[in-house]
A and B are shown apart, each in its own frame.
Chain A
C-alpha cells in the first residue's frame, strides 16, 4: 500500500482518505447493486444501525477498543440483522419495509440500552463507542486500508465467480430454484456481501451516509446499463469516481469527507435520473413533447389533404370544425407546417405546396403501411419476432418485408 500512497501527489492523510473512499465506493457500488435490484436498498440502513449493539457487545466481551475487534462485533450483528429481516419476510404477512424497520428499531434500541449499561460500569473507557456510527474518515490508518482492500477484493471475487447463479436468482428466484440453484444460500451470500460493504464503509463515512453509498452508484448505473454485468462494472466505477472526487473536493475545501462524498453522489444520481438517454425524466419529457407535436402536425397535414380532396381549399376555422382539434394546437401545427414550406396560402384559404403534397402522401402511405402491418403482418411469416416502431416501419421490417406487405394489402380489399 505504501507505493500507492507515495505515488499520489497528496499528503499522507489525504492519500489514505482518498484511497479509502475509492475502495468504499467500488465495494458499496458493486455490492449495493444487488440490494437495490432486490428492492431491499434500505437493508443497508438496518445493518448499519445494527452494528451498534455488535460494537458494544464486542467491547464488553473483549474489553478492548481496537478497530478490528469492534469490526468483528459489528459484522456479526449485521449478519444477525440481515438474517432476521429475511426470516421475518419469509413468514409471509409483513412487507420488506416493515421487516427492515422492525429490525432496525430493535437492534438500535438494544444498542442504546447496552451503551447505558456499559456506561454504568466503567466510565472512562467506553467514551466514543457511540461515535462509531458517525464515521471518521480522517481517523483512517494504513492498516485499515489494507484490511478494507482485502475485504473489497475478496467480496468482488466472490461476486464475479457467482455472477451467473446470482443473476438467475435475482431475476427469477422460482426458476432459479427449479433448475437446482441453491436460492437461499445465494440470497445469504448477497446479504453477507451487503454486510461486508456496510462494515467497510461505516467507520469512514458513517451509518447514514453509508446508505447513500450503497444506493447512489446502483441507481446511477442502472439508468445507463440494461445488463447486470455492465451495470455492476458501471456501479463500481461510479462509486470509485464519486468516492474519489468527493474526497478530493473535501480535502481542498477542508470539509468532512463523508457528507461531501454523499452530496457528490446524490448530484450524480439526480443527473442520471434526469438526463439518461431513453430513461431520464427530462430526456423523456422532451421526446414526448416532440412526438406529440409531430403527431398533431402530421394529423393536420392529413386533415388539409383530406379537405383539399373533398372540396375547395379550407380556412383554418373550417379545419378546426372538421377535425375538432383545439384552436391553439391547430395554429401551432399550421405554423410548423408553414415553416417547413409545406403550406401555401390563398388569402385565408390553405393549400399544399409541392413539397407539402409529397409530405402528405408520405404520411398517408406510412399510415396505410401500418394498417397493413396490423392486418396482414401475420401473413408475412417473418423468421423472427420483429415488432417495428410505427413511425419507422420500413426501418424496422426491412424493405423486402414492406414490399410483400404492400402486395398483400393491395390484393385484399380492406373492410
Chain B
C-alpha cells in the first residue's frame, strides 16, 4: 500500500468499527495525501460512510485510530470540515441559507461569542464561491438537491479547514451541478486543500479524482486511481456483483 507518509491529510490505522457484532470496517489501513482530491469507493455496505464518521469521532471505534495531518483526530478536529449525508437534515427547519453557512464559522468564534465582521465576509465569499449568494435569504427547504449540496459545501468551505471530508455529496444531485461542484473541489485542491469524498460512481472517480481507497469492509486497495481502481481490484471488491452481471459489467468497471 503506497503510504503517503506522516504528512497524509487523513490516515487510518488498523481501524475496526462494528455495529453490534457485525463489523462495518475491519482492520482498515489507508491514507489520503495532502493537496489531492481523493475518493472512497466500494459497494453498498462497504463501510464508506462509517470510515468518515469514525474519523471525525461521530462513531465509537473498536480498535485502531484516525490521524488528521499526522495528529490524532480528536485533537485535530479544527483542521477538518465534514459534510454529512443529507438525509439527517430537517429541511423544514426555519433557517436560511446564510445562517447554515454561518455555522461553518462557529468553531472559530467559540462558545457564547457572536460572529464578527470578518467571519461574515468569509461567509459571503463562500456563498459567492458556490454560486449561492443570490439565494442567501431563502429557507433551505426551498432549494433543489444540487443547491442544497452547494450550501453544505459552502458551510464546509467557511470552516477554512485544510482537510474536507464529504459523505456522498452527489446523491440526488443532477449531473450539471455535480460537474460544477467537482470543478470547485478541484480548484480547492489546487490551492492546497485536501479533500476526501465518499462516491458511488467509479467512472467519475477514475476520470476526475487523483487518489482512491477501494473499500469492502476491509481495504482492498489504496493509491492513485489508476492503480487502486485497476480491474483486478475492482473485481475483488465488487466481486459478486461484477461476476453476476458478466462481461458487460466488467467492461463498464474496466
A residues with a Cβ closer than 8 A to B are 93, 292, 295-296, 299, 370-371, 374-375, 378-379, 387, 389-391, 415
Contacts and interface: CB of A to CB of B under 8 A. Distances in A.
Contact of B23 (A375, A378, A390): A390
Contact of A374 (B92, B217, B221): B217
B215 to A, nearest CB: 11
A292 B221 contact: no
B48 to A, nearest CB: 15
Contact of B240 (A299, A378, A387): A378
14 contacts: A93-B92, A295-B62, A299-B63, A371-B218, A374-B26, A374-B216, A374-B217, A379-B239, A387-B22, A389-B21, A390-B21, A390-B23, A390-B26, A391-B21
Nearest to B241: A378
B243 interface: yes
A378 B239 contact: yes
A374 B218 contact: yes
A371 B219 CA distance: 11
Contacts, number: 28
A281 to B, nearest CB: 14
Given A390-B21, A390-B26, A415-B233, 17 more contacts: A93-B92, A292-B62, A295-B62, A295-B63, A296-B63, A299-B63, A374-B26, A374-B216, A374-B218, A375-B236, A378-B239, A378-B240, A378-B243, A379-B239, A389-B22, A390-B23, A415-B236
Nearest to A387: B22
Contacts of B62: 292, 295
A389 B217 CA distance: 14
Of A378, A389, A390, chain B has the most CB atoms within 10 Å of the CB of A378
Nearest to A94: B92
Interface in B12-57: 16, 21-23, 26
A371 B16 CA distance: 13
Given A295-B62, A389-B21, A370 B243 contact: no
Interface in B206-247: 216-218, 221, 233, 236, 239-240, 243
Contacts of A93: 92
